[in-house]
Amino acid sequence: MSFGSNTTDPYVQLGNSGLFVYRVGLGSMQFGWSVGEEIAHDIMDAYVEHGGNFIDTANCYSSWAAAMGGPANAGGVSEEIIGRWLTKQTHREDIVLATKVRAAMGEQFANNRSTFRQREGLSRRWITQACEDSLRRLQTDYIDLYQAHFIDPLIPIEETLSCL
């Protein structure tokens, strides 16, 4: 891949990170919900074959599937699908992988989103645990871009930022 700064270059620098990503990222919110694993793998293969390198997911993706008529799960399914796909890739370093933390995971998501602070949010404890869980599901030893999915008004921003 060659990287440049002109507007016709298909790759752009991701902020000040030093990472260069394809201008069109691949979102995976539907993986494990309305898109099954085989088709998801085909989509990622086609995306990479056409120059794509930026895949976005989140720890909670597809946890809402049962409420929308899809398969019941506690979240993490999109990450698991991507993880199984990543194990087949020969150049993990060519993929810029982004995932997110914040949303509720597990039973409390299905139970009217009742809040158990140890299973959601942006506390140091939850971010650390959620990151370890995402690494396991993604079957990789690093995440290129780890993001807060949305704010957590119950946790001081300093605590969140000190952990990210």
CB atoms within 10 A of CB 144: 18
Residue 75 has a pLDDT of 79
Catalytic residue among 11, 61, 142, 146: 61
Ordered per-residue pLDDT tens for the chain, 164 residues:
555 556 789 999 999 999 999 999 999 999 988 899 999 999 999 999 999 999 999 998 877 666 667 676 767 899 999 999 999 999 999 999 999 998 766 654 444 444 444 457 888 888 998 999 999 999 999 999 999 988 888 889 999 999 88
Q: How far is CA 49 from CA 43, 55, 73, in A?
A: 10, 13, 31
- Quote the pLDDT of residue 126: 86
Q: For the chain, which domains are there? A: 11-163 (3.20.20.100)
* 22 classed as catalytic: no
For tokens 């039973």, the residue is 107
Q: Which residues pair with 162 in a beta bridge?
A: none
Query: What pLDDT was estimated at residue 150?
Result: 85
Look at residues 114, 128, 117 and name the one whose alpha carbon lies nearest to residue 153: 117
List 21's β-bridge partners, or say none.
Answer: 12
Contact 124, 94 (CB under 8 A): no
For residue 162, what are the contacts with CB-CB under 8 A and spacing of at least 6?
A: 124
Q: 94-120: b or e for each residue (b if 16 or more CB lie within 10 Å)?
A: ebbbbbbbbbbbbebbbeeeeeeeebb
